[in-house]
Amino acid sequence: GENVEQHPSTLSVQEGDSAVIKCTYSDSASNYFPWYKQELGKRPQLIIDIRSNVGEKKDQRIAVTLNKTAKHFSLHITETQPEDSAVYFCAASRVTNNDMRFGAGTRLTVKP
Amino acid sequence: NAGVTQTPKFQVLKTGQSMTLQCAQDMNHEYMSWYRQDPGMGLRLIHYSVGAGITDQGEVPNGYNVSRSTTEDFPLRLLSAAPSQTSVYFCASSRTGGNTEAFFGQGTRLTVV
């Protein structure tokens, strides 16, 4: 089955700096790559996703890039704010398989 | 619109006891799933269902049973609780398959002593 690895496990940045979280996946047939944000004690919520027919997607301060050849994708957060502090999860799945696999998560701390 | 509702929020079980975690969604989603979340291990898929009457195993199915008699409900049963099943459990639903946005319930924190 699919295996998703996520790095780093913890990330601390100063407010206003950028943050980058990287994930690699093993199944070359995977074509859907979402990112979820989980605030402390809350449920995970989708913040952005990308499909394999595009290489980059942006939504305000958040962007995701995908390199299908290398089988990795990344989350970029610019101009970080304290409210960006949370655990972020990447995931991967494919159309023909309903088994979505998540990375282990990255705890992002934004220091004011 | 309640979304995905899980009950209970907290539960303590003794080893060997059985229980059912309830999950209901009101978005008419075809796909529902159960995950467990453990520190440093992310979210691991236990079971999923692509529609009423259809269920399948995920990554860590042992010790759990599911059924999907209606589109709305997807209960998770622990047959004989073990300390290794201490975890936070999330139910999720999505419009179609596992390759569309998942909407999560608020989670159930289960402790097995």
- pLDDT at res. B36: 97
Distance from CA of A34 to the nearest CA of B (A): 8
Tell whether the model's pLDDT for residue B58 goes beyond 70: yes
> Which own/partner pairs from B61-66 qualify as long-range (CB within 8 Å, at least 24 positions apart)?
B64/B34, B66/B34
Q: Which pLDDT value is given to residue B39?
A: 85
Summarised one tens digit per residue, pLDDT across range B90-104 is: 999 998 877 788 999
pLDDT above 70: residue B1: no
Please state, rounded to an integer, the average pLDDT across all residues of chain B: 94
Residues of B in contact with A101 (CB under 8 A): 45, 59
Q: Which residues from chain B sit within 8 angstroms of residue A91, using beta carbons?
A: 43
**pLDDT classification of A53: cutoffs 50, 70, 90:** confident
Name the more confident of A108 and A29.
A108
Does residue A1 or residue A45 have the better pLDDT? A45
Q: Tell me the chain B residues in contact with residue A49 when contact means C-beta distances shorter than 8 Å.
A: 101
Whether B70 has a pLDDT exceeding 90, the answer reads: yes
Select from B38, B35, B39 the least CA-distant residue to B48.
B35
Instruction: Characterize the bridge pairing of strands B76-78 and B19-25.
Output: antiparallel
Residue range A49-54: mean pLDDT, rounded: 86
Q: Do B104 and A9 touch (CB under 8 A)?
A: no
Q: Residue B7 corresponds to which tokens in the numbers above?
A: 């009950």
Mean pLDDT of the B29-38 span: 95
The answer to whether the CB atoms of B48 and A98 lie below 8 A apart is yes
Position A111 scores a pLDDT of 96
Q: Which residues have a Cβ under 8 Å from the Cβ of A84 and sit 6 or more positions away?
A: A19, A77, A108, A110
Do A34 and B97 count as a contact with CB atoms less than 8 A apart? Answer: no
**Partner-chain contact A102 B31, CB within 8 Å:** no
Give the dihedral sign, CA B46/B49/B55/B58: negative
Instruction: Write out chain A residues lying below 8 Å of B107, CB-based.
Output: 43
A21 neighbors A7 (Cβ within 8 angstroms): yes
Q: Provide, rounded to the nearest whole percent, the portion of chain A with pLDDT above 70.
A: 99
Question: Rounded CA gap, A44 and B105, in Å?
Answer: 9
Average pLDDT of the segment spanning B59-73: 96
Separation CA B31–CA B56 (nearest Å):
11
Question: Are A87 and A106 within 8 A, CB to CB?
Answer: yes
The percent of residues above 70 in pLDDT, for chain B, comes to 99
Q: Over the stretch A59-103, which tens digit does the pLDDT of each residue have?
A: 999 999 999 999 999 999 999 999 999 999 999 988 776 778 999
Which residue of A4, A34, A98 is in closest CB contact with B50?
Answer: A98
Query: What's the pLDDT at B85?
Result: 97
Residue B37 backbone phi and psi in degrees, to 5: -120, 120
Beta bridge partners, B54, equal B51
Q: Do B99 and A99 touch (CB under 8 A)?
A: no
Please indicate whether, in this complex, the C-beta atoms of B101 and A1 are within 8 angstroms of each other. Answer: no
Shortest distance between the Cα of B45 and any Cα of chain A, in A, equals 7
State the average pLDDT over residues A20-32.
94
Q: Determine, for residues B45 and A31 on separate chains, whether the beta-carbon distance falls below 8 Å.
A: no
CA–CA dist A59, A77 (Å, integer):
10
CB pairs under 8 A between A and B: 64
